[in-house]
Amino acid sequence: MPLFVVTIDASAATAASSTRIASPDERIVAEIRINEDGSPLYTVIRGGELVLRESKLGLIRDDADFSRGLQLLTVSPVEPVSDEYELLTSKRRHNSYRANRRTLSLETSAGQKLDIIFQVSDDGVAFRYRFPETSSRVHRLTKEVSSFNFLPETRTWLQPIAAAKTGFAETNPSYEETYEREGIVGTPSPTGAGWVYPALFRSGETWLLISESALGRNYAGTRLRNEWRSTEYRVGFPDKLEHFQGGPVAPESRLPWMTPWRFIVIGELKTIVESTLGTDLAEKPTTEARVPAPGPGKASWSWPLLGDSNTNYETQKRFIDYASDMGWQYTLIDALWDTQIGDEKMKELVDYARGKGVSILAWYNSAGDWNTAPQTPRGLLLTSEDRKREFQRMKSLGIVGLKVDFWPGDGQSAIGYYHDMLEESARAGLLMNFHGSTLPRGWQRTYPHLMTMEAVKGLEFVTFDQKNAEDEPAHAAMLPFTRNVFDPMDFTPVVLDHIDNIERRTSSAFELALSVLFTSGIQHYAEIPEGMAKAPPYVRDFLKAVPSIWDEVKFIEGFPGKYVVVARRSANTWYVAGINAEKESRKVRLDLRLLSARGGTLISDGSGANLSFSRRSVDAESDHVLTLTLAPRGGFVLTTR
């Protein structure tokens, strides 16, 4: 059924039931209408072609249905939106956002008000809801009706969300599953719990990446849900088990009330990989927000390859020496430090590290009653008084940051726990890293001391069983198109040597490439001193020099789950990284004019197994193109000159 759009101006707004809003370059258009039963609907067009069919808008509140029976009161004139901001923990330091905004004001038959705010930028469409009235009563949402209705031939690259209270010590969901690649739209989630953000779709030649941003303490973290064979994916609330200490799961708040942004990046794969829409829409930091020293950096870390038993004084001292030798800023001392090292010896390690130019990060278990993870220190961060005491204790020991693990899910009370932790750690001047956690959703912009979050099936899983090792190549080649597009990701990459009892399925050059390909405010490397010592000196030098803050990003080429080549710039130097997830070699072409470079130094796979590298100087051909061959499940890094 065709959609007839009436373009309206402010004077005619009260009489119209449909409107449109275009991106600044006019290639992307969102069309919104109110149908015959008063339901708000929208479609999205790119380059004159429909890419998202008529999809639903609206919310159902405990006292009113804002998904139907609505009357459109006004539509605001188009309002240009612009923003400039700096971000140290993502793929681009200086960011610029331009969009056009329109607000539709609606009301129910009883006169209750709802605003729907649309913003359309050159890379996508975003919308959110606002209840503008004032009320002292707490209102609760029973449902969000928002949906994304795709064309029938759309393909999907989606990660299922784990069912609550499953997995190790009932710690799920932790956003730690592998992606279902090249699926058919309408295929249900194998867990029955839905799909996580960012969710990637392909409609014809257009790629669409769906996520949410600006998730405040007055809402729940959501996920996508769909029915068998339905092309429509809807926004779903968390499982009733995903709460903090018995608090609310579904969103509730007094009025006025603003919801998070729902947004869709739309374009080519280059658009997806280079977009910053997730942080463009995030809440701005407060004026007093800052990044405590030392800020973004790299860390040594014993746990992934050596386990719990090596969280002891002597091993951690050795890892401090390792970090110092590599010029890295941090050593992370993981679980059980409180019982296997203790405060007194921990202070000795901190003082020793300071003399080596290294800062110490310490692990905590966030858990209360929501899971049975036994690792300590446990249950010491549950109240504001607890956190104030522990943060002061850490500061007195000289600890500069915390890794907090095993979070309770996405219910509103759980999201409030994140915000409490972030606000109070900011006041304490501590850097933060969250594991066993939800997706950041742009929090690293709102809270600049949030260096990274896990929310990924990272390298530690490869150490657990062979199946994860088999999955790693394709999984790693998914992440630059999905999880790591907007938010820092603590995948904890890079094993150059061996993993006990596991046959690696990635080459050492593949692993080295992850140091550039994956972005994280603090990058925790999994390789241990003995493995690093076996690497050629030029590989060690590369890992000493690779930057922690990136100024720019360029997508070169790739395909989700198969291969990817990305260039990142720091100052005047470009670092190009590529990985090939497939069992056959692949040629890639790099136009060095894009990087204002003539050539560079290439580190790629050698002819042997682990720790087999080759290094050579390379120059562009007469057409300025450099042709490289990616080995099967191999990789490369190129530093330009």
Mean pLDDT in residue range 283-310: 95
* Nearest residue to 441 (alpha-carbon basis) of 488, 477, 403: 488
The per-residue pLDDT for 7 is 40
Q: How far apart are CA 17 and CA 36, in angstroms?
A: 10
| Alpha carbon of residue 568 to chain centroid | 18
- Examine domains 10-280 and 297-547 and report if their fold is the same: no
Q: Check residue 622 and give its pLDDT.
A: 76
Confidence of residue 287 (pLDDT cuts 50, 70, 90): confident
Residue 623 has pLDDT above 90, yes or no: no
List, in sequence order, every residue forming a beta bridge with 104; answer none if it has no partner. Answer: 75, 116
**Bridge-partner residues for 154, per DSSP?**
none
Tokens of 553: 């990003």
Record the tokens describing residue 10, joined without a space. Answer: 């402010």
CA distance 373 to 378: 9
User: What sign results for the dihedral spanned by CA atoms 525, 526, 532, 537?
Assistant: negative
Q: How far apart are CA 201 and CA 183, in angstroms?
A: 9
The second-level CATH assignment, the architecture, of 10-280 is Distorted Sandwich (2.70)
Q: Over range 450-471, report the average pLDDT.
A: 98
What rounded mean pLDDT belongs to the chain?
96
Taking a C-beta distance cutoff of 8 angstroms, is the pair 474, 182 a contact?
no
pLDDT band at 247 (very low <50, low <70, confident <90, very high): very high
Percent of the chain with pLDDT over 90: 95
For residues 154-191, one letter each, b for 16 or more C-beta atoms within 10 angstroms of the residue's C-beta and e for the rest, the string is bbbbbbbbbbbbebeeebbbbbbbbbbbebebbebbeb
Confirm if 129 and 113 have CB atoms less than 8 A apart.
Answer: no
pLDDT at residue 430 in the model: 98
- Residue range 297-547 in CATH 3.20.20.70: yes
Average pLDDT over residues 372-379: 97
| Of the candidates 581, 406, 404, 573, the residue with the CA atom closest to the CA atom of residue 480 | 581
- Residue 119 has what DSSP assignment? E
Give pLDDT tens digits for 552-605.
999 999 999 999 999 999 999 999 999 999 999 999 999 999 999 988 999 999
Amino acid at 173: P
Distance CA 636, CA 505 (A): 16
Six token digits for residue 393: 């204790």
What pairing do the DSSP bridges indicate for beta strands 147-149 and 155-158? unpaired
Sheet holding 552-559, edge to edge: 552-559, 563-570, 573-580, 635-640, 599-605, 613-619
pLDDT (average), residues 464-474: 98
**Under CATH, to which class is 563-640 assigned?**
mainly beta
Residue 5 has pLDDT above 60, yes or no: no
Nearest CA-CA partner of 257 in 446, 451, 75, 59: 59
Q: What is the pLDDT of residue 6?
A: 37
Model pLDDT, residue 286: 85
Give the domain ranges of the chain.
Answer: 10-280, 297-547, 563-640
- pLDDT over 70 percentage in the chain: 98
* Tally: H helices and E strands in the chain: 14, 35
* Residue 17 pLDDT: 81
pLDDT of residue 289: 85
120: pLDDT confidence band, cut at 50, 70 and 90?
A: very high
Q: What is the pTM of this model?
A: 0.96
3-state SS, residue 236 = strand
Distance CA 390, CA 125 (A): 42
Report, as an integer, the average pLDDT of 50-56: 98
- CB neighbours of 303 closer than 8 A, spacing ≥ 6? 310, 311, 332, 334, 335, 460
Of 195-199, 289-293, 313-317, 348-352, the range with the lowest mean pLDDT is 289-293
Helix axes 313-326, 342-355, angle to 10 degrees: 20
Please write the tens of the pLDDT for every residue from 353-372: 999 999 999 999 999 999 99
State how far the Cα of 536 lies from the Cα of 292, in Å rounded to an integer. Answer: 34
At 16, the pLDDT band (50, 70, 90 cuts) reads: low
Q: Which two tokens stand for residue 159?
A: 């990660």
Contact 459, 469 (CB under 8 A): no
Strands 147-149 and 124-144, how do they pair?
A: unpaired
The token pair that represents 115 in the structure block: 């605003």
How far from 495 is each of 5, 349, 460, CA to CA, in Å?
56, 25, 10
Q: Decide if 192 contacts 454 (C-beta within 8 A).
A: no
- The pLDDT confidence band at residue 107, using thresholds 50, 70 and 90, is very high
The region, left, alpha or beta by phi > 0 then psi within -120 to 50, assigned to residue 145 is alpha
* Separation of alpha carbons 49 and 31, rounded Å: 13
Angle between helices 384-397 and 342-355 (to 10 degrees): 50
Lowest mean pLDDT among 205-214, 475-484, 620-629: 620-629
Residue 2: pLDDT over 50: no
CB–CB of 361/299 below 8 Å? yes
Q: How big is the CA angle at 556 (ends 554 and 562), to the nearest 5 degrees?
A: 125
The answer, yes or no, to whether residue 419 has pLDDT greater than 90, is: yes
pLDDT surpasses 50 at 10:
no
Average pLDDT over residues 316-325: 98
